[in-house]
Amino acid sequence: MDNLLPNLLSFPPHPPRPTPMSDYLYDQGIRDQIDFVKKLADSKLLQQTSGGEDVLDVINPALNTVPYTFILLANLSALKKGTKGVDMDKIWGKMTTFLGTFDPRQIRYLGEQLSTIMEAVANIAVANRQPWMALAPIRDALLRLDPTGSMLTTHHLALVKLALESRSYKAIVPVIEKFILYFPGITNQPKPKYICDMSINPVQFITPTSGLTQKFKYQEVLEYFLYSGMVFIGLSNWEGALQCLENAVAYPAKEGSVSKIMAEAYKKWILVGLLHEGRLLSLPRSTSANAAKQYHTLAKPYETLAQIFENGTASRLKAEADQGVSVWQNDCNTGLVLHVLAAYQKFQIRNLANIYSKISIPEIVSQTMSAETGNKLPSPQAGEKLVQDMINQGELHATMSSSPGQPSVVTFAVSGPVLTEPEMQNELAAATERIHALTKEIKQTDRMLTHDKDYIKYVQKQKKNAKQGSLGDQGISGADMEWGDAIEDEDIMGSLY
């Protein structure tokens, strides 16, 4: 092993050169090294150093990701074969540390290997009946690989499924809260010259050919959106859930087709909307018209429930919820519906804040109804407790004061939480920055679209048509062009400039 080490550690040069390596040299270097390491037999990689140390302890995964990866894989396959001297716990420890420390530039060349390691981590955790153990390492690996998190990979989907199975949701929030912009299999992306170029878009190096992800089917994309929504629901993070479910609800669909997953997402989306805003939300603008029509027929009971929530009384809401028990059960939404019922009175109390500045607890009890029972609260104490809980959880901006012998009095803050001037400045600056970043994305997308083969063809045709038109050919070709305009999606960004 000792004679191998210098070769293994030859790349990247250590200590780093004063001038950073050009992308060309880096690409060459790392490819050579991968070729070299690949040729080595597993048995060689498993050798210890002369000092009797494990090589995995010697090599720093953050610097020499390439040899480390291969040695780790050699250990893994040895583990599978049952070779002696390979300790499972140790490998597990090494793998999880590796996923949190690897060099994001080198790893781009090691797609298949990284995938294998992530799968191994997940498998071991599941085999040990501790699936939640795998969540954090995989999450870290995904975020290291693509810090923007805007690219969907098959690992994302597997991670969310793992989280749902193990019912531990918190760990994966940093991954699923990222807005997905890119999907594997995009054809119109320019091929990057070197994938080690740190300025390129994730979509350019995370491709099915790199082994970092696989190809998707639309069902799987929808599943990812639905499942991440469900994870947020599990955390009672309604805003996040809305965001994810909306992605599924507004999924582009051609020719009036609607996936069942979209309809499921829509049902949950209605309930979550009630919990978040207390009303039936209007569909996102980009929802396809046909899907919207389908939703209204498929999710009728949900929409009715939402309308009653908004305008009806507690007893009607309860009756409607009881009526639809089998519907909620079949859709696995019973829990959410119960949440909705519990939220009804809270929304009523919050609405009181729009009318009253100060009100006593008995008055609140007499003016609001609980949808869980369909009646008023049994006692002022129950009302007091409810208000207390709401204040504690930040759901109600108010203070409660009680004096002996008299009912407690709730004073509502006049206009909710008011941000201070510096806070507001920060918020505004952050929003500006986000929009700047977004503008870059938009420009890039626009560029990509203008260089799209089909689009170029279309422009050519249009030019030709225009020429013909000027030569006196009216009628048919003119109408043709207009049809082209209507069908073409290319001006989809027009309204955003």
Partner 1 sequence: MSQTQGLPASPTQSRSKKNLLVSDPPKFDLESYIANYKGRTRLERLILIGTCSSYLGVEALKLAVREAKKGKDIKRYLEAQNHLETIGPQEPEAIRDKAWIEKTEKQNQAETQRLEAELKGYKNNLIKESIRMGNEDLGKHYQAIGDLPRAFDSFSRMRQDVSMTKHIIDISQHLIGVAVEQKNWVAVSSNVQKIRGVMTSEDEQFLQPYLYTTEGLAFMDSGEYYNAALRFLQTQPGLGGTSAPGAIPGGSVCNTIISPNDVAVYGGLCALATMERNELHSQVLENSKFRTYLELEPHIRRAITFFVNSRYSACLSILEAYRTDYWLDIHLQKHIDEIYHLVRSKSIVQYFIPFSCVTLDSLNAAFVPAGKTIDKELAMMIQRKDLEARIDTQNRLLTSVPSAPRSALQTSTLETAKEYEREARRRIQHMNIVGADLEIKGGKRGGLAPIDDLFDNGRELRSRNTHPGGF
Backbone angles phi, psi at 370, to 5 degrees: -90, 130
Q: Which of residues 290-309 bind partner 1 (CB under 8 A)?
A: 290, 294
Of 324, 279, 323, which Cα lies nearest the Cα of 299? 324
Nearer to partner 1, 25 or 253 (CB): 253
Nearer to partner 1, 100 or 469 (CB): 100
Asked if residue 315 binds partner 1 (CB under 8 A), the reply is: no
Among positions 16, 147, 190, 284, the unique one binding partner 1 when judged by CB under 8 A: 284
The CB-of-200 to partner 1 minimum distance in angstroms stands at: 16
Asked if residue 470 binds partner 1 (CB under 8 A), the reply is: no
The CB-of-291 to partner 1 minimum distance in angstroms stands at: 9
SS3 244: helix
Backbone angles phi, psi at 294, to 5 degrees: -60, -40
Spatial separation of the C-alpha atoms in residues 354 and 348, rounded to whole Å: 10
Query: What is the size of the binding site for partner 1 (CB under 8 A)?
Result: 89
Asked if residue 1 binds partner 1 (CB under 8 A), the reply is: no
Residue 195: Cβ within 10 Å count: 19
Q: Which of residues 388-447 bind partner 1 (CB under 8 A)?
A: 409, 412, 414-415, 418-419, 424, 427-428, 431-432, 434-435, 438, 441-442, 445
With beta carbons less than 8 A apart as the criterion, state whether 117 and 95 touch: yes
Q: Which of residues 359-388 bind partner 1 (CB under 8 A)?
A: 359-360, 363
Residue 462: Cβ within 10 Å count: 15
Element (H, E) at 411: strand 409-412
Among positions 289, 355, 471, 476, the unique one binding partner 1 when judged by CB under 8 A: 355
Asked if residue 146 binds partner 1 (CB under 8 A), the reply is: no
Among positions 43, 130, 219, 326, the unique one binding partner 1 when judged by CB under 8 A: 219
| String of contacts with partner 1 for each residue 194-213, x by CB under 8 A | ---------x---------x
Residue 36: Cβ within 10 Å count: 17
Spatial separation of the C-alpha atoms in residues 331 and 89, rounded to whole Å: 41
Asked if residue 326 binds partner 1 (CB under 8 A), the reply is: no
Nearer to partner 1, 340 or 353 (CB): 353
Asked if residue 184 binds partner 1 (CB under 8 A), the reply is: yes
Asked if residue 354 binds partner 1 (CB under 8 A), the reply is: yes
Sign of CA dihedral 89, 95, 97, 100: negative
Asked if residue 358 binds partner 1 (CB under 8 A), the reply is: yes
The CB-of-413 to partner 1 minimum distance in angstroms stands at: 11
Asked if residue 105 binds partner 1 (CB under 8 A), the reply is: no
The CB-of-245 to partner 1 minimum distance in angstroms stands at: 13
Of 67, 140, 54, 63, which Cα lies nearest the Cα of 97? 140
Among positions 23, 27, 220, 372, the unique one binding partner 1 when judged by CB under 8 A: 220
Asked if residue 474 binds partner 1 (CB under 8 A), the reply is: no
The CB-of-322 to partner 1 minimum distance in angstroms stands at: 24
With beta carbons less than 8 A apart as the criterion, state whether 391 and 402 touch: no
Asked if residue 99 binds partner 1 (CB under 8 A), the reply is: no
Nearer to partner 1, 50 or 219 (CB): 219
Say if residue 354 is exposed, middle or buried (CB neighbours under 10 Å; 0-12, 13-18, 19+): exposed
Of 180, 259, 256, 173, which Cα lies nearest the Cα of 222? 259
Asked if residue 132 binds partner 1 (CB under 8 A), the reply is: no
Nearer to partner 1, 1 or 151 (CB): 151
Among positions 256, 378, 478, 484, the unique one binding partner 1 when judged by CB under 8 A: 256
Q: State the number of CA atoms in the 13 A half-sphere of 311 facing the CB.
A: 4
Backbone angles phi, psi at 166, to 5 degrees: -90, 0
Angle, CA of 375, 413 and 351, to the nearest 5°: 30
SS3 412: strand
Q: Which residues pair with 375 in a beta bridge?
A: 370
